[in-house]
Every structure is written in structure tokens, then in C-alpha cells.
Amino acid sequence: MNIHGTPYRTVWFADDLVRIIDQRLLPWHFQILDLPTTTHVAHAILDMAVRGAGCIGATAAYGMALAAREAASSPDPTAALIAKADELNCRPTAVNLAWALKRQLDHLLPLPPSTWPENALTEANRIADEDAAACAAIGQHGLSLIQDIASRKPSGQPVNILTHCNAGWLAFVDHGSATAPIYAAHAAGIPVHVWVDETRPRNQGARLTAWELAHQNIPHTVIADNTGGHLMQHGLVDLVITGADRVTRSGDVANKIGTYLKALAARDNNLPFYVALPTSTFDWTLTDGLAQIPIEARSSDELIWMDGPDASGTLHHIRLIPETSPTANHAFDVTPSRLITGLITEHGILPANEKAIATLQPPAA
């Protein structure tokens, strides 16, 4: 995506460093962060300097290029590489992270350690390129849904799309998942308007999705998280598209906390609820999302504190909740497949059921 006229990916490798856009500072500052060691990469993932399923997968893949160099010179390179992959596997819900690390280990371990650094970097570039290409293809497939709705609306009226959290290009290497069809529709001249859920507690919608859409000149409105149902009841939403962090082989979807409530509201209002994901987000080992997908519990500090500038631009960190009140921060929820109209993947749009999803499963190695 272009920022101030310069094309960026969210993560890349240069001068022996992993480089990322530091998402903790957006939308107030656009800053590149250099990560020189595996430990720096793990910390960036854990602290959400990088975030979003595809983006943390690609970042970890690049982290393995540093890990390969560090491990290759250790007394037991294999044990060291496995330990570094474990260190990078530091968020539990988005399966792209574990998927990218396993892919790197499967690729590297049969090779001589002296060749690991070069091979790890090549594989990381491949993972990043595939992620960007998958998201671009998701955009083209999802475009047909938006075109179809637009063709049934009075000419010139925008298609109103509600999205949750940030499943935009910042959550991947480029393009995004849920936003890719929106970018494709905008590029095709179809009028669109996006309802952006703020997405408490970290506000990825208000801070990141809104920033992305503004940079692409896409009409949008940030709403409080509880507004979606009301908008749906009043005919102000045509379509919901969210991203996903892990999808079972039966089509249950783990995504940012609050997604399930949007799916319930969409069902009650007879509205289409689509989930966009690259196939790297499927967990082929799981069938029951509610019982089997691990849900990350994050620090309550995300709930208790809020960051933002005052009128003069000075950033503040302020407390929102009384010191005496206990808090809990469940970061994801699971939307059962029965509430999902369809899955938008790089291979096309399919129903969220085991038979359809099985057609996408890669052959066993």
C-alpha cells in the first residue's frame, strides 16, 4: 500500500534486520522499527508492534532468518533453532504464526546449518509474497459480492459494509483480507462506505482500519462497538465482512472479540456475514472451534488504559477503570459456522462447511 506516495509492506528484511511498521504508534506516528534479533522479533509480536494473523506469520517467518543465523553457530544448531521457533510462537490464537514457523522448520531442519540463513530468508520472502498474493486474490473474489449488491441498489448509492477490528493490509503483508474486496470495489469505481467497529480494547478498528481507509480515500465511519445491530435494524448495513485468526476444518471462525455478536445481529437481520481469509488461516487439525481453539487472554492493561493525543498533539496514557474493579481481557471469540454466509479465500468463495473446506486442504506432506 502507498503511504505518502511510497509503497510499503508491513514487514520486510533489509541490512540483516527485520523491519516492520510499528503499529503501536499508529495513527499518530508512522515509524519503521528495526528488529536485529529473534528476541526483538518475539517481543514485537507479543507487544503487538506487529499484529494481525498474516502479518505475525510473515514476521515470524522473517524472524526465523535471524534465528537461523543465531542457531547455525551454536553448539547444537538443531536444538537452538527449535528453541528459537518456540520463542517466536508467542501468541496462541492466530494459527498463521505456528503455520509459518512449522513451515520454516520443515524447510530448514533437513538442510546443513551453514545454509540455514540464506534458505530461511528465501522461504520468508516466499511466505510474504504468497500472503500478499492470496490477499489480492481474496479482493478479486470478494469484489463480485460487492458488485452484486451494488447492482441491486439505486444508482450511485454506496454499498454499506461493516467490518470489525483490523483485517486490513496492516494485518497481513499487503492488501488485507476483509478490506481487500473493499479496496478492489473502490478501484473498480463502485461506491462503498465502511462502518468501522472501534474494536475495544485495543481499538484496532478506530486506530488502524480508519487510518488505512483514510489513506486510500475510502468513505468510512468509525462506530462504537455496540452500534452495528442498531445500524442493521435500520437498513444501513448491506454486508458484513470480517477477517479470521483461525478457522477449523468445519468452518468455525476465531476472530477478534465481538465478532460473534456481529454475526448474531447479521443473522437476526437476514444480512450476509462473510469471513475473508487466506488458506494459511485454516487449522486442518480442528473440527470444533468453541472447544478447541485456544483463546488468548491478554493483559488487562489494554482494557484499563487508553492512549491518545490531546488537542496539542501530546500523547497521554490515561486510566479508564477504577483501581478497585477486577477486569478480564478475552482477545478473541468463536463464531460458529452456522452463522457464516461464506468464506472468501484466495481460491474463491465457499460455504463454511467441512465438505467445501476439504476441497482446499493441501495434500499431506
Q: Which residues are catalytic?
A: 245
Q: CB of 178: closest distance to ligand MRU in angstroms? A: 7
If one asks whether residue 205 binds ligand MRU (CB under 6 A), the answer comes out as: no
Is 10 a binding residue for ligand MRU by CB under 6 A? The answer is: no
Question: Which listed residue (204, 209, 280, 345) binds ligand MRU by CB under 6 A?
Answer: 204
Q: What residues have CB less than 8 Å from 94, skipping those under 6 apart?
A: 52, 53, 56, 57, 245, 246, 281
Among 177, 203, 248, 279, binds ligand MRU (CB under 6 A): 177
Binding mask 253-272 for ligand MRU (x = CB under 6 A): --xx----------------
Minimal CA–CA distance to 335: which of 349, 360, 352, 359? 352
Burial letters 33-52, b for 16+ CB under 10 A, else e: bebebbbbbbebbeebbbbb
Position among 135, 165, 210, 339 found at the interface with ligand MRU (CB under 6 A)? 165
Alpha-carbon distance 331 to 67, whole Å?
28
Query: Amino acid letter at 8?
Result: Y
* Nearest partner of 141 among 96, 176, 184, 170, judged by Cα: 184
Sequence letter at residue 321: I
Contact range with ligand MRU by CB under 6 A, out of 110-118, 126-134, 166-174, 214-222: 166-174
| Count of residues touching ligand MRU (by CB under 6 A) | 18
CB of 71 to ligand MRU, least distance (A): 27
Comparison of 59 and 160: residue with beta carbon closer to ligand MRU: 59
Residue 166 sits in the site that holds ligand MRU (CB under 6 A): yes
Q: Which of residues 74-133 bind ligand MRU (CB under 6 A)?
A: 94
